Amino acid sequence: MTMTDESAPDTKAETPTEPQEFIAFLLAVNKGRSEKELTAALQKLVEAVQESRKGGKLTYTLNIAPSKADGAVNVTDSIAVKAPTLDRPTSIFFIDEAHNLVRNPANQNVLPFDH
């Protein structure tokens, strides 16, 4: 019995019809370290936002460039966090005649304090 082309097993690798899920790709980038760094950065950012009551930003950037190998690309990534900061306290100063910043107004007497 001979096999015809129609009954021969298909030896070609099937091309996926669905795109790869991004999370699967992310878990493969940098051997999974990028996903762990993103997780830690997200947690710290949320903590800073909660503490400061201000917004922040987490940016994940992928750079994809052609590779010298046929059918391949080089992938590098970067993680940038712009965390909010707490407001710093305000100090009040007065300006003297020489335009110096001083703690007491020029027209007010300073009370002596004994230590």
Could you read off the pLDDT of 57-113 as tens digits, one per residue?
999 999 999 999 999 999 999 999 999 999 989 999 999 989 999 988 877 776 777
- The per-residue b/e assignment along 39-76, b for 16 or more CB within 10 angstroms, e otherwise, is eebeeebeebeeeeeeebeeebeeeeeeeeeeeeeeee
Regarding pTM above 0.75, the answer is no
